[in-house]
Chain A
Amino acid sequence: MGTSPEVFREVLAALGNEVVIPPRPNRRTLSLGTKYSPEFACLPYKILMGSYLEAIEMGADTIVASGGVGPCRAGQYAPLHELILRDLGHEVDVIVFEPPRLDLRDFLGKISALNAKGLSAWQIIKLIQAGLKKLGALDSLERLSHRVRARELVRGSTTPVYRKALQLVYAAQGAREIDEAYSRAEGLLREVPQKSGYEPLKVGIVGEIYVLLEPSANLEIEEALGEMGVETERSIYLTGWTRESKLLGKPGRYNRTRVKEVAGPYLGEMIGGHGQDSVGHAVMYAKRGFDGVIQLAPFTCIPEIVAKSVLERVSREFALPVLSITLDEQTGKAGLLTRLEAFVDLMKRRRR
């Protein structure tokens, strides 16, 4: 998702696997995925299905995926994917990583299954640490890109520089190189000519994890908003999420306990997926004085449907504009842009 595949490729390759990464999800991915998925499966499921098929075309015999916890269908997706892939005659193994805090032995077992080179436990820990460090650097870079893009002097000038900056971090090996690459990448982004004294509108983006993290699934909403001069902040970044799932390390700034606490008066139950998080984060954005919140939900995603109704109340109580966007394979960019433009107009007029 997003910038992360490169890092997973690196870790898996270091363990001694030959790794293929399917192309960035595109129209072909989606049509493949839609063809071989149940119609009412959600967009993330269909994109993954398409990506798996593309990876198999490229020669993959094993698929490494992440699982999920709580009452969200995503937890069953990997087994269903595997079943359908086998029905199609592809003899692939699917290895699903669940959060280690739930079953440490299962987690370690899967790591060792992928440990083709027979690296020592210490080497593996080092490897994972470096991977997380790189993921963290990529996330920071992305956050920065959203700040810079909103202020860019020439529309569209940030994105190519950001791509170049990503390459620097991708190429770095080991902790020291990652640090160096990050500061060079950061420098590149900061050099993009920016408007001075411009206070962009600030929008918080909440919703289901996959469509939040994968720009091709949300029709590059953050890029589009940035180029309209709007600064965005997302409720979920991959490194934040892995930390919350206690893969490694300590909770970050937005720990789940806090999210649950602020969501409590509106939605007291964990309803699966990221429904409660969407509500909690929206409340936090409201309290921080954001101009608006956008919710991204895959079509038929129950947790986000529930969150959407609850967000109406949050919106009323905090006088916070909220725009809910439902994404599926039918969603067109033109319709999305119309809504975004109208939403930006709305926020601008409110500010005046």
Chain B
Amino acid sequence: MEVYLGVDVGSVSTDLALIDDDGNAVESLYLRTNGQPIRAVQEGIRVLARRIGPGVAVRGAGTTGSARRLAGVMIGADVVKNEITAHAVAALKVVPEVQTVLEIGGQDSKLILIRDGVVVDFAMNTVCAAGTGSFLDHQASRLGIPIERFGEIALRSKHPVRIAGRCGVFAESDMVHKQQMGYAVEDIIAGLCEALVRNYLNNVARGKQILGPVVFQGGVAANEGIRAAFEKNLGQPVIVPPFHGVMGAIGVALLAKEEVERTGRTGFRGFALSEFDFRTSSFECQGCANRCEVVEVRLGSEVQARWGDRCGRWSDLERPVQRPDESECLSCAG
């Protein structure tokens, strides 16, 4: 069998997906990043290799998520894509007529508007994480409820309590207050789901036209309570695709497939990369007042990539070896 690999390395989770020649997901994997993207990617590749066994050839690979560059260097990606495009591509594959994609992940949430199969607008939350998975996680553990059961408990509620959802801090203190007043836990949880949905629609989706079909993806889509609150608020059905948690990885695998079909070759390093000795380090460039923090990725002793510099003197590996204290900057006037 021939497959394409997609890797989505986010702040909270690292997701991997394999798709077949028809673009259907055949295998997927979800891991915690735990602040160690290199280890998460290698662990993911190792588990994936074990699951699929021999006889499966990876024809192409792509990366997305906030660590997409690092992951791209590690696996030898054919495509390194932002997560908005990746999510849209995956949603279009599952529901070709989709017009709206709601995506809520660990630390960010997005809204993508699609018309006639083309992304026409998007929004991402910026400063506020009140409506995201991390916040739900935190509240679940505070209430002593496993996050997996959060949605099911919310659905049991007959009279959701109104929770202030504008800000995570206020939401939490309001929840504590409602608990102390003696409201039932399912009503509080259902109220929290509705507050988060209100927050999302007021902040991320402000002023945007949400038309169906609506697809809801990202880790939080597993939460039945949030999905129900979206349906209630939007007054229309909300589709949660089967691989909702790894749509970014699927999307970038689809893009890798497109790319490899065009170029006819792949840079994928093979499953052995899970045993490679990747290391990253960083230093502050002293070349000018910007004091760029440059990241260096090494495989063994060999530098594979650098980034973080504004002027490009470090990212360009063809340039002769330099020292961080060299007082020259390629882009500054000084």
The interface of chain A, by Cβ under 8 A from chain B, is 23-24, 26-28, 156, 159-160, 163, 166-167, 170, 216, 220, 299, 309, 312, 315-316, 319, 321-322, 326, 328, 330-331, 334-335, 337-339, 341-343, 345-346, 349-350
Contacts and interface: CB of A to CB of B under 8 A. Distances in A.
Given A26-B290, A321-B120, A341 B82 contact: yes
Nearest to A155: B312
Query: Among B83, B209, B333, which residue has the most Cβ atoms of chain A within 10 A?
Result: B333
Contacts of A315: 121
Contacts of B118: 346, 349-350
Contact of A342 (B82, B206, B312): B82
Contact of B124 (A28, A319, A339, A346): A339
B311 A159 contact: yes
B208 interface: yes
B289 A334 contact: no
Nearest to A3: B333
A24 B312 contact: no
Contact of B84 (A160, A216, A330, A338): A338
B207 A156 contact: no
B127 A330 contact: yes
Contacts of B127: 299, 326, 328, 330
B291 A27 contact: yes
Given A309-B207, A346-B122, A338 B330 contact: no
Nearest to A309: B207
6 contacts: A159-B331, A316-B209, A321-B120, A338-B82, A342-B84, A346-B121
B119 A24 contact: no
Contact of B120 (A216, A335, A346): A346
Contacts of A345: 81-82, 84-85, 119
A326 to B, nearest CB: 6
Nearest to B87: A342
Contacts of B316: 156
B290 A342 contact: no
A321 B121 CA distance: 6
Contacts of B208: 312
A315 to B, nearest CB: 7
B122 to A, nearest CB: 6
A18 to B, nearest CB: 20
A350 B120 contact: yes
Given A159-B311, A160-B330, A349-B118, A342 B85 contact: yes
Interface in B125-143: 126-127
A312 B206 CA distance: 9
A326 B204 CA distance: 13
B66 interface: yes
B169 interface: no
A166 B127 CA distance: 36
B120 A26 contact: no
Contacts of B333: 163, 166-167, 170
A23 B290 CA distance: 10
B310 interface: yes
B126 to A, nearest CB: 6
A114 to B, nearest CB: 25
B332 interface: yes
B91 to A, nearest CB: 14
B331 A160 contact: yes
Nearest to B86: A342
Interface string B231-271: 00000000000000000000000000000000000000000
B120 to A, nearest CB: 7
A338 B9 CA distance: 14
A326 B125 CA distance: 11
A220 B209 CA distance: 31
A306 to B, nearest CB: 12
B291 A26 contact: yes
Contacts of B119: 342, 345-346, 349
Contacts of B124: 335, 338-339
Contacts of A156: 312, 316
Given A335-B126, A338-B66, 5 more contacts: A28-B289, A312-B208, A321-B121, A338-B82, A338-B83
Residue of A216, A299, A342 with most chain B CB atoms under a 10 A cut-off: A342
Contacts of A350: 118, 120
Contacts of B291: 26-28
Nearest to A29: B289
Interface in B288-334: 289-291, 310-312, 316, 330-333
Contacts of A26: 289-291
Contacts of A326: 126-127
A160 B83 CA distance: 31
A27 B288 CA distance: 12
A55 B309 CA distance: 26
Nearest to A313: B207
Nearest to A6: B333
Contacts of B122: 342-343, 346
Nearest to A341: B82
A316 B122 CA distance: 13
A312 B205 CA distance: 11
Interface in B36-94: 66, 81-85
B120 A159 contact: no
Interface string B279-291: 0000000000111
B297 to A, nearest CB: 16
Interface in B197-220: 206-209
A338 B208 CA distance: 20
A26 to B, nearest CB: 5
Nearest to A167: B333
Nearest to B82: A341
Given A220-B310, A299-B127, A335-B126, A163 B332 contact: yes
A24 B329 CA distance: 13
Interface string B82-118: 1111000000000000000000000000000000001
The 7 closest A-B pairs by CB, nearest first: A342-B84, A312-B207, A341-B82, A156-B312, A23-B289, A345-B85, A26-B289
Contacts of B82: 337-339, 341-342, 345
